[in-house]
Amino acid sequence: LNYNSNSKLLEVPGCSEDVEMNIQQINKLTQDLVAENNPNFTPQPHDDSTSMIKKLFESGLKNLQQQKMAEALKSINLAIEMAQRKRAPWEAFAVQLQELQFMLKNRVDLSLIQGKFMDGLQDLDFLQNTGLNSSDVFIRKTDALMKLKQYELARSEVERGLSLDPTNIKLKSLHIENSRRLAEYNG
């Protein structure tokens, strides 16, 4: 482990990818700490970055109202990039997670409306991986998978969705629709 004094970074030459990842995390943390000029910072989210993110997001929603989907998607992406960059690693995780999930949920709808099914699918995967198991995530995910012709995956998604929410009408109709597509897919 050696410390590069002018770039103020740690490095471990020739280490495994896990160690490399930990080193990057430490470097990121120290860089942000060094860059932080307010001495008594708190884990509460930085309010000016919050307002910036909010403004960008609002403009996205405005575009949405004006039916300008592409711009809406772009400004939501900007808002997310802003959150990714501006937020310091010590700002409350719960807040950052919620914020990111909220923005992604909107981004998913925008992607699906514009036919970017793979983008929507990966965002939905991310939401599921970070613990969001609500029925509408399953509905959107099943729909996206069907549009991508992955009927087997769609079936396991919709069945899981129904296991968690057996009475959901939308999921039921998707399940029937997907079974029909599957039968056709299998000749």
Partner 1 sequence: QSYDYDEGSETWPFFMLAVLCVILVPLTIMQLWEALAGGEKDRSSQHQQHVLGDLSERYTGNDVRTFRAKYAAKKSKWLAKRNLVIIAGWTIVAYLVQHIGSNDAIKDAATLLFDPYALLDISASSTDREIRSAYRKLSIKFHPDKLAKDLKPEERSVLEEQYVMITKAYKALTDEITRENYLKYGHPDGPQATSHGIALPKFLVDSSASLVMIVGYIALLGFILPFFVSRWWSKTQSMTKKGIHVKSASYFSDRLFNFKPSQVVTTQLMIRWISHSEEFKLMFPALAPNIFETLLHDHINRKHSGNLQTTKFRIVAKSHILLFGLLDIATTFRNLEISNAAIDTLKALVQAIPLSPYSQILQLPNVDAKRFVEGSVDDIRTLGKLFTYDDAKIGKILGIEDATQLQETLTVASNIPYLKLIRAEFKVPGESVITPLSTPHISLKVLVRSAKHKFFSPNMIPDEMCQDEQDFDSLRDPFASVSEQPKLPQSFAPYFPAKRSGCWCALVVLQKDGKVIQTPMLIDRLSFANLSQDFDKRTVKDLDKDFNPENWAVGTIKIPFSQPAPEEKGDYFFRVIIKSTEYFGPDLDFTVSMAVRE
Partner 2 sequence: NQALKRRFQAILLRKEVYSEQW
Full DSSP string of 24-38: HHHHHHHHHHHH---
- Return phi, psi of residue 10, to 5°: -85, 150
Tell me whether residue 9 or residue 100 sits nearer to partner 2 (CB atom).
Answer: 100
Least Cα distance to 142 among 115, 171, 112 occurs for 171
Q: Which does 41 bind (CB under 5 to 8 A by kind): partner 1, partner 2, none?
A: none
The only residue of 159, 177, 179, 181 in contact with partner 1, by rule CB under 8 A: 159
Residues whose CB falls within 8 Å of the CB of residue 20, separated by 6 or more in sequence, listed in order = 12
Least Cα distance to 120 among 135, 105, 130 occurs for 105
Q: Is 15 left (phi over 0), alpha (psi -120 to 50) or beta?
A: beta
Q: Which does 143 bind (CB under 5 to 8 A by kind): partner 2, partner 1, none?
A: none
Rounded Cα distance between 135 and 141, Å, is 10
User: Contacts with partner 2 in 142-181 (CB under 8 A)?
Assistant: 148-150
Of 55-63, 76-84, 89-97, 148-156, the segment contacting partner 1 by CB under 8 A is: 148-156
Shortest gap between Cβ of 163 and partner 1 (angstroms)? 3
Q: Does 156 bind partner 1 (CB under 8 A)?
A: yes
Q: Which does 185 bind (CB under 5 to 8 A by kind): partner 2, partner 1, none?
A: partner 1
Give the binding site for partner 1 (CB under 8 A): 18, 21, 129, 149, 152, 155-156, 159-160, 162-164, 166, 183, 185-187
